[in-house]
Structure 1
């Protein structure tokens, strides 16, 4: 049975950090421009209530994927690190993780959620578009050509 749990303890954040590292390795790009090493070291601060949240999906005790949201400003949060292990893709879990993230953004009082996605992530882009995200102008620096910037009103 697949469950989605909010990370609330050091072990859950350690598992999420492992998933974040897998995500970064599969991208094939250097995330140094996003201060990725610092992000990993401060997950509990960046992705914790009252300004953020981090969800991990499990099948029994095995981690399958994750998604986080973090504060950009008082009314805008950012969706980050949506990742599913390869063997779990195509089972609707991405849609479930995204639904958890959208609801969390609303419950934390944000009115808008933003994200950026690489041009190679066409499946993710389709998921976001189906959920109601639409393209916007860049809101942060990303040196990867073709990066898409999206938002949704919560």
Structure 2
């Protein structure tokens, strides 16, 4: 079945349900104080772009977002693919869109925080060139968090 990925508003009932499902998954793995969720309202703020993956029937099956913190730093947020769709490259494809958009915006560094029990996510980030690092932005050090960063930049010609 064909999957499409497009920039969409998170303020749709179906996307709200997808994000609620993501929150349930995360809260089952980490204590609430170690979960740094953006609400759908925060996802709709200027400076945040949200991609939604949809199956051939038009149902929302995955999401991811780019939150711009400055002209130099962007953050990968709200990456999720519904369990029955995992393992099909949807997360990888959403992440590629986020990286491309960040590069197009001239962002030089992407960062993210993910949980300590998400090895499938780690594999996606690492295959995309992200490296583990210490805490990023204003996240605290936590045994429940794994941090990643990726330097971006377009190839430049020698002067």
The answer, yes or no, to whether TM exceeds 0.5 is yes
Which residue matches 1:6?
7
Which residue matches 2:143?
145
Following superposition, the deviation at residue 153 of structure 1 comes to 1.2
Within the candidate set 50, 68, 71, 1:54 is matched to: 50
C-alpha distance 148-34 of structure 1, shift in aligned 2 (>3 A): closer
| Counterparts of 1:9 and 1:95, CA distance in 2 | 20
Following superposition, the deviation at residue 107 of structure 1 comes to 1.5
Which residue matches 2:155?
none
Q: How do 1:128-143 residues align onto structure 2 when only pairs under 5 Å count?
A: 128-139=125-136, 140-142=138-140
Count of matched residue positions in the alignment of Structure 1 and Structure 2: 147
Which 4+ residue blocks in structure 1 deviate beyond 2 angstroms? 8-11, 14-18, 29-36, 38-43, 140-144
| Counterparts of 2:103 and 2:11, CA distance in 1 | 25
| Counterparts of 1:124 and 1:98, CA distance in 2 | 11
Deviations 1:4-28 (A, max 9, x none): 01014843xx433322211110112
Which residue matches 1:117?
114
| Counterparts of 1:10 and 1:150, CA distance in 2 | 28
| Counterparts of 1:71 and 1:34, CA distance in 2 | 19
Which residue matches 1:70?
67
Which ranges of structure 2 fall in alignment gaps of 5 or more residues? 153-159
TM-score by length of 2: 0.82
For the aligned residues, what is the CA RMSD? 2.1
Contact 1:24–1:31 at 8 Å: present in 2 too? no
Which ranges of structure 1 fall in alignment gaps of 5 or more residues? none
Following superposition, the deviation at residue 93 of structure 1 comes to 1.0
Q: How do 1:15-54 residues align onto structure 2 when only pairs under 5 Å count?
A: 15-27=14-26, 28=28, 29-31=30-32, 36=37, 39-45=39-45, 48=46, 51-54=47-50
Following superposition, the deviation at residue 142 of structure 1 comes to 4.3
Q: Secondary structure at the match of 1:98?
A: helix
Following superposition, the deviation at residue 41 of structure 1 comes to 2.7
Larger Rg: 2
Following superposition, the deviation at residue 67 of structure 1 comes to 0.2
Structure with greater helix percent = 1
